[in-house]
């Protein structure tokens, strides 16, 4: 038997290539559907058309696109601002107990799934919910605050969903900064604020960019949060796609919205990386 030069090559490659092929086929189906005509009352599709894409320019849909983008940007920035101190404390705390507590508290929500976490927030923010009951018992307010079904409410919960992953990514970036740089700055007479602003913060630049990009993509992907917290008053592209598919059985239009959403995600993340390129380049 001649010795194999590349043992297991074909055998090990096949399953991965199969999954990649099926995924590509699913994406190709969306592309294909996005330029087809809907046949009302049928799940089959008609001939080629661009009407799905021109139909998107309707103010109703343009509004959803703008809301989605705004929610994504807002969520990414707030997650960064809240996550940075948490990541900093996680990496720099000298006490093991503090580290473990921060780590467990931060990581557990990552595994709970969107439904459980969103439902929990309905209980917190609802009209009979925790915050309103508390404020009314304390006589701060007479009428319950309307937080559910508002942009504010949706933003709060979206931040809660993306904050853990942003924190973990920032912590990973901070953990890989050589403390010698900070020591050097300190020994040259820089105070803690100056060390942070001129050494630590720039060196964590790549983590910041990666965290923002991930938060953006995750928020764009969110469905249960805008659906349950937005309650039809605040809609994201995901909700529209579901509504068009399963409410109106207009799968071609749902597919074209998905395609536009995908293009928008990639364009936004590319733009973000372009704008923040100076941040990514800094560092050893």
At its nearest, how many Å lie between another protein and the CB of residue 222?
Answer: 8
Q: Does 280 bind another protein (CB under 8 A)?
A: no
Q: By CB under 8 A, how many residues form the interface with another protein? A: 91
Q: Does 121 bind another protein (CB under 8 A)?
A: yes
Residues in the chain: 284
- To which H or E segment does residue 74 belong? helix 59-92
Site for another protein in 53-82 (CB under 8 A): 82
- Alpha carbon 279 to its chain's center: 20
At its nearest, how many Å lie between another protein and the CB of residue 58?
Answer: 20
Site for another protein in 179-238 (CB under 8 A): 191-193, 210, 214, 217, 220-224, 228, 238
Distances (CA, A) of 247 to 51, 164, 212, 243, 250: 20, 33, 33, 5, 8
Task: Note whether 170 and 83 are within 8 A (CB).
Answer: yes
CB nearer to another protein: pick between 54 and 127: 127
Q: Does 260 bind another protein (CB under 8 A)?
A: no
Of positions 61, 65, 251, 253, contacts another protein by CB under 8 A: 251
Site for another protein in 87-116 (CB under 8 A): 88-89, 101-109, 111-116
Of positions 242, 267, 277, 282, contacts another protein by CB under 8 A: 242
- Alpha carbon 51 to its chain's center: 30
Q: Does 128 bind another protein (CB under 8 A)?
A: yes
Picking from 213, 225, 101, the residue whose alpha carbon sits closest to that of residue 151 is 225
Radius of gyration of the chain (CA): 24
CB nearer to another protein: pick between 29 and 282: 29
Site for another protein in 146-165 (CB under 8 A): 160, 163-165
Beta strands in the chain (DSSP E): 36-38, 45-48
Q: Does 270 bind another protein (CB under 8 A)?
A: no
- Alpha carbon 81 to its chain's center: 15
Picking from 205, 204, 212, the residue whose alpha carbon sits closest to that of residue 268 is 212
């Amino acid at each position: 038997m001649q010795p194999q030069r590349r043992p297991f090559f074909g055998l090990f490659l096949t399953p991965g290539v199969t999954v990649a092929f099926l995924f590509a086929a699913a994406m190709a189906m969306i592309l294909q559907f996005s330029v087809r005509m809907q046949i009302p009352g049928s799940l089959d599709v008609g001939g080629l058309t661009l009407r799905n894409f021109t139909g998107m320019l309707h103010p109703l849909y343009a509004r959803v696109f703008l809301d989605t983008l705004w929610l994504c940007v807002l969520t990414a920035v707030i997650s960064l601002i809240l996550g940075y101190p948490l990541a900093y404390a996680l990496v720099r705390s000298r006490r093991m107990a503090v580290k473990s507590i921060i780590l467990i508290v931060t990581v557990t929500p990552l595994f709970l799934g969107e439904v459980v976490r969103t439902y929990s927030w309905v209980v917190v923010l609802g009209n009979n919910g925790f915050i309103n009951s508390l404020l009314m018992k304390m006589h701060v307010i007479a009428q319950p605050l309307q937080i559910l079904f508002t942009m504010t409410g949706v933003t709060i919960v979206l931040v809660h969903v993306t904050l853990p992953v942003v924190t973990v990514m920032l912590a990973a970036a901070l953990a890989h900064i050589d403390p010698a740089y900070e020591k050097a700055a300190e020994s040259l007479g820089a105070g803690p604020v100056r060390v942070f602003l001129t050494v630590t913060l720039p060196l964590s630049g790549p983590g910041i960019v990666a965290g923002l990009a991930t938060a953006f993509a995750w928020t764009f992907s969110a469905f249960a949060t805008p659906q349950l917290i937005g309650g039809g008053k605040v809609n994201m592209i995901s909700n529209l796609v579901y509504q068009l598919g399963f409410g109106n059985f207009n799968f071609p239009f749902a597919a074209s919205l998905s395609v536009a959403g995908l293009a928008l995600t990639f364009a936004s993340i590319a733009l973000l990386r372009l704008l923040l390129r100076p941040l990514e380049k800094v560092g050893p």
